[in-house]
Structure 1
């Protein structure tokens, strides 16, 4: 689960050319525009990540009123990636002194320093409205025996870069669509969106594509308790940024239900090949390369620059990249800043 409101430290501050009232802070991997003089290097503040929805009934967020929207019947502000005076800004950091609810002494406890304070301040994760063709009729909650797909952003894992990890990672293109899971478990078959298991209905795109690609039949024949997880993209989904005709499911992970862990690259590829032999049409997200993190020299900026580039459709810019260690033990995403700026309405 993403941590939307955390106590973080200001690592560096630098001026923004031509700006008198604002400056740029680097906050543990994130670049944020702040009021000039509001923070010094080493100060701690409450940091709100992009896509946090801040309620305007809390007067501490009232200065954001001009960006107000109504979402889930609440009036508030969704934090987005933006550019101010030519400087990318992602998130919001406010002085801890504004949040008396947080016991400063308790923050000496490392466990509490990692706490997500979002619920305390009524902060929620903003989610786009799901089209009817993807939401469908709910069969039940997302299965507890399958991990949800939610990659951490590299900005929240600066220690991974700093460690100079020699492990090898596969780097794949992140497609901008909607989360989809198809599973077989103990004889039962199912299809899920991001948060719910869905009932098969004529108008549901996820079930239609799963049937079209013969994924359910192949999984039943294979007999292993596994879940295929990926992205459904195309017409009617997130504005169809790939400019595709129709809809298609692209697998990015295979979750082994019996082991309760993700398959590594080699095992995943072998299993998907078996499904193809059993008659399924299996598409995967594009593989860019296999590499180590040493190539970035510990630079967050280099990783984010690498996230820029063409997507599945080479005429379209990609949303970003996903890095997965070959053994399946660690993964994270790097989102293209230019893509976030272009699609800030989502």
Structure 2
């Protein structure tokens, strides 16, 4: 999941093709359905992204009582309104009536705390939880921002790689050369510097042991001269999320589905990000499907983000989206970190019965 920021943004307003009383307010590449003539192009308003949880007072003020997602009807989720995809909320809350939104946009002010808006945390199934312990040597994963919120992360024509984004649960594993320690965690626990105690019933440990990840990491550390190696993968299958890719983690005769999407290594005291396809010999570990390599073009990325999954080889269901990264690892001043982003399929966002465990 990407970071939650509630910021003032300049709007570009478009006509709604299917509704006389509605318009589309664009922020980045996102479009939110708004009442007609509520905003004009060039004006500034607050943008509340998907996965934001709103307090009751703000929900009532915006006239959204009973209209948001989740058990408490308080979570912002992508929806289709009169045939148009609406992602996030555009508004001007009364609490910000005296705020200069133009200046706030220039300064990048985050209003989430002031408004009592929090980020939604998905529930954790018992197979993904367990006893945890402090793990200072765990190599962490990073949040990937959405390309539609930050469309300038990549430059036109820049060499990029698109890999399929899988709908599973992120598994973090770190191999520490000194002592041969193996640390395994989820994205949520890992962000707090915690690792899961080994348990043969735990989903992440089943995947790591079942696919021989520690042995692969040890060999990779030796080849790289690394003191630590982090292997980041998606664990997937029926019993994890609603998209199963033709496998089921509840069967005991095979390990859960597992696909590596990133690798980091500490070499000479510095942590470096590595492309799994460059450093892992063929067949050592399953990798996420590589869909496209070539010059960056927004339309090409959005086209690849939709369609059918390729993991099963049978196109069993829709694709979640794609992850975009430069062919050569670099820093991005746009997101203040790694130049990496995701683009998500509109069909995935609006599917029925979807699960979002982390």
Which category of TM-score, normalised to the shorter sequence, fits these structures? 0.7 to 0.9
> Which residue is equivalent to 1:236?
239
Q: How does 1:12-27 map to 2 (within 5 A)?
A: 13-27=13-27
> Which residue is equivalent to 1:151?
144
Q: 1:150 offset after TM fit, Å?
A: 2.0
Higher fraction of helix = 1
Tell me, yes or no, if the aligned pair for 1:145 and 1:260 is still in contact at 8 Å. Answer: no
Q: 1:40 offset after TM fit, Å?
A: 0.6
Tell me, yes or no, if the aligned pair for 1:80 and 1:344 is still in contact at 8 Å. Answer: no
Provide the rounded CA distance (Å) in 1 between the counterparts of 2:39 and 2:105: 23
> Which residue is equivalent to 2:304?
306
Normalising by the residue count of structure 2, what TM-score does the alignment of the two structures yield? 0.82
Provide closer, same or farther for how the CA distance between residues 307 and 58 of structure 1 changes in structure 2, counting only shifts above 3 A: same
Does residue 56 of structure 2 align to residue 56 of structure 1?
Answer: yes
Does residue 33 of structure 2 align to residue 42 of structure 1?
Answer: no
> Which residue is equivalent to 2:277?
269
Tell me, yes or no, if the aligned pair for 2:321 and 2:344 is still in contact at 8 Å. Answer: yes
Provide closer, same or farther for how the CA distance between residues 261 and 117 of structure 1 changes in structure 2, counting only shifts above 3 A: farther
**Residue 338 of structure 1: which of 344, 347, 356 is its match?**
347
Provide the rounded CA distance (Å) in 2 between the counterparts of 1:25 and 1:109: 16
Q: 1:218 offset after TM fit, Å?
A: 3.1
**Residue 270 of structure 2: which of 250, 259, 271 is its match?**
259
Does residue 202 of structure 2 align to residue 204 of structure 1?
Answer: yes
Q: How does 1:1-346 map to 2 (within 5 A)?
A: 2-11=3-12, 13-58=13-58, 61=61, 63-67=63-67, 75-95=72-92, 98-100=94-96, 103-104=99-100, 107=103, 110=106, 112=107, 114-140=108-134, 143=136, 146-160=139-153, 163-164=155-156, 166-187=157-178, 188-196=181-189, 197-223=195-221, 224=226, 225-246=228-249, 247-257=256-266, 258-263=269-274, 265=275, 268-273=276-281, 281-293=284-296, 295-296=297-298, 303-311=301-309, 312-313=311-312, 314-329=315-330, 330-343=339-352, 345-346=354-355
The runs of 5 or more residues in structure 1 that have no matched partner are none
Aligned alpha-carbon RMSD (Å): 2.6
Provide closer, same or farther for how the CA distance between residues 334 and 102 of structure 1 changes in structure 2, counting only shifts above 3 A: farther
Tell me, yes or no, if the aligned pair for 2:217 and 2:231 is still in contact at 8 Å. Answer: no
Q: 1:18 offset after TM fit, Å?
A: 4.1
Provide the rounded CA distance (Å) in 2 between the counterparts of 1:270 and 1:18: 48
1:113-133: CA deviation from partner (whole Å, max 9, x where unpaired)? x23321222212213212111
Provide closer, same or farther for how the CA distance between residues 121 and 234 of structure 1 changes in structure 2, counting only shifts above 3 A: same
Tell me, yes or no, if the aligned pair for 2:18 and 2:83 is still in contact at 8 Å. Answer: no
Tell me, yes or no, if the aligned pair for 2:50 and 2:76 is still in contact at 8 Å. Answer: yes
Normalising by the residue count of structure 1, what TM-score does the alignment of the two structures yield? 0.84
Q: 1:212 offset after TM fit, Å?
A: 1.2
Q: 1:32 offset after TM fit, Å?
A: 0.8
1:149-186: CA deviation from partner (whole Å, max 9, x where unpaired)? 3211111222246x42x321111111000011111135
